[in-house]
Structure 1
Amino acid sequence: MNAAEPLIVGLEFGGTKCIATLAQGQTILRQERWPTGTPQTLHTMSDMLAHWQRETPFAAIGIASFGPLHLDRSAANFGHMGNTPKPGWAGCDIFGHFARRFAVPVGIDTDVAGAALAEGTWGASQGCAVHAYATIGTGVGLGLVVHGEAVHGHLHPEAGHMRIRRQPGDMFAGACPIHGDCLEGLVGGPALAARSPIAAADIPDDDPLWQVVAADLAEWCAMLILAVSPERLVMGGGVIQSRPKLLGLIARRSAQLLNGYIDDLNAAALECLIVAPGLGANAGPLGAVVLGQRALAASA
């Protein structure tokens, strides 16, 4: 830890939990967690930040949130939540809540974009010009980084809602309230809960469901590799963290789907391209910290 580095607050808003982190560089000094609940969580978190600010003044805030988010700084709805299925959160002014209360620079992006930037800064994607971070948890999301910048366009990548080829014989209707059987509707937390009477963490490794999940994710990974050609595809989130053996299954199935079209991406190479987070469970919280660091640098 460099004593000259500023203190940064990172706020990660996830599908099931929210995490506030006080960090210096990548060193985490303090951390608090809350259930995501309703937007009242914003007030709970900002009250905690006010307490931190009185004790150890911080220089900036980074917000890494589930989406969709409006990230066009020229738009009136910048920093607002988009059409999320999470009850009560659609239209919520996440950025404004913290920017109005604290006289420090505030940065905001998606949780997966933040995690991708953190993995590129300190983790498994260091040295990669094009890399991505996927979360497979309550929802499915993708953050894409090209030459050090998170990709935004009309919105930001919402690749978790892409539809994939269904596995033969899989008749599950899907759990996404918007699209039904998009990828999130097939392999996200609510989908796994609907597919099995057993909690996902307790489903045995040899249960056929994991073969379906791995095959679905491989369909997605193969499309991502063909579309954006990442040098590293980091896969995190609760589903992957609780079932790390999925990564090898996904890599091998992705190689079969690519079928030698990219001649240097065989199964062994894909096991080096499709990897777990180098930062482990801290990829998300540190992603928010990176967004705060960038906001501070942009304000200088």
Structure 2
Amino acid sequence: MTNIDEDGLVAGIELGGTKAIALVARGREVLAMERIPTTTPDATLAAIEDRLSAWQAEHGRVAAIGIASFGPVGLDRARPDYGHITSTPKPGWRQVDLVGRFAARFGVPIGFDTDVAGAALAEHRWGAGHGDGVLVYLTVGTGVGGGVLVDGEPVHGLIHPELGHLRVRRAPGDAFAGICPFHGDCLEGLVSGPAIAARAGRPGDRVGDGDPLWDEVVGEMAEAVAALMLTLSPQRILIGGGVFQARGWLFDRLRARAAELLGGYLAGIGAAELADIVVPPGLGAMAGPLGAVALAYRA
């Protein structure tokens, strides 16, 4: 791993299922940024390459590139699928080699991880998770994903955490089948933006704050939060993504329900203490793009 001083110019690519964000930065100072629709691999990646080349002509050569990608992705350097998107359900994107392509084009070190691990790194470096020994970053939007850091290092293991596909207990009588093509009613299949729209029969932004649907969303998210508190013992669980960012009032309800589920077992950890543990990302919507920048500095 190459450590690059934050005065060094780097590029970041946050590759999402519906849009990609490319940027160049020095530290957390963003010099240029552009959103690019995620369509086919060739069209999307060529557009990103062209944008990075144009920025290099304007700002100078970058020292490294960070790629924070939707997944699953290959992170084991000993396997042939390292640097690839692997078993994604997104049509056309299976086994796309991201690291190889950008390394060949630009000839610089490439930092690579999931988009949520990248966001966790940015929050640990510059945001609300600064200095935390165990940090969890969850995003609840088009999908649900989660990254885990221990002492500032992303947890990989066999592959990488897939917290969005945890199975959670359901409220009695809730018969919604879920929308995950792999698992049906896993967390992503229940509380992602598309899942909320499927439950409501209308777009999520048209679901009123008083709709009882939110009780189900809070209950299922609280099951996940309680499980993470018991298994990982994090000092911080950051929850980003469009679903929660647009409805900050969900946090108080989530903390209260998670405290009920924990039942006082974690000494001194109730709803009041969870108010300092389960919080929005400090970097807001920039956690993802700056996550790619953080990966570049790790190179």
Q: TM-score, normalised by structure 1?
A: 0.95
Q: Which amino acid aligns with 1:190?
A: P
Gaps of at least 5 residues in structure 1 are 296-300
**Residue 155, structure 1, aligned to residue 156, structure 2:** no
1:109 alignment partner, SS class: strand
Find 2:290's aligned residue among 286, 292, 299. 286
Please give the residue correspondences for 1:98-109 in structure 2 after superposition, counting only pairs within 5 Å: 98-109=102-113
Please give the residue correspondences for 1:196-211 in structure 2 after superposition, counting only pairs within 5 Å: 196-211=200-215
**Partner in structure 2 of residue 35 of structure 1:** 37
2:239 alignment partner, SS class: strand
Q: How far does the alpha carbon of each residue in 1:57-111 deviate from its partner, in whole angstroms, 9 at most, with x for none?
A: 2211000011100001121111111111111111111111111100111110000
How many angstroms apart in 2 are the aligned matches of 1:108 and 1:173?
Answer: 34
Find 1:120's aligned residue among 121, 124, 128. 124
| Cα offset, 1:143, TM superposition | 0.3
* Gap change, CA 1:108 and 1:4, over 3 Å in 2: closer
Deviates more, 1:265-274 or 1:189-198: 189-198
Identity over aligned pairs, percent: 55
Gaps of at least 5 residues in structure 2 are none
How many angstroms apart in 2 are the aligned matches of 1:116 and 1:151?
Answer: 11
**Partner in structure 1 of residue 21 of structure 2:** 19
**Partner in structure 2 of residue 260 of structure 1:** 264
1:288 alignment partner, SS class: helix
User: In the comparison of the two structures, how many residue pairs are matched?
Assistant: 293
* Gap change, CA 1:273 and 1:4, over 3 Å in 2: closer
1:272 alignment partner, SS class: coil
Cα RMSD (Å): 1.2
Structure 1 runs of 4+ off > 6 angstroms?
none
**Partner in structure 1 of residue 198 of structure 2:** 194
Find 1:45's aligned residue among 43, 48, 69. 48
Q: TM-score, normalised by structure 2?
A: 0.96
2:216 alignment partner, SS class: helix
How many angstroms apart in 2 are the aligned matches of 1:291 and 1:125?
Answer: 16
How many angstroms apart in 2 are the aligned matches of 1:14 and 1:184?
Answer: 16
Q: How far does the alpha carbon of each residue in 1:155-208 deviate from its partner, in whole angstroms, 9 at most, with x for none?
A: 000111111111112111100011111110001122112112332122111111
| Cα offset, 1:4, TM superposition | 7.2
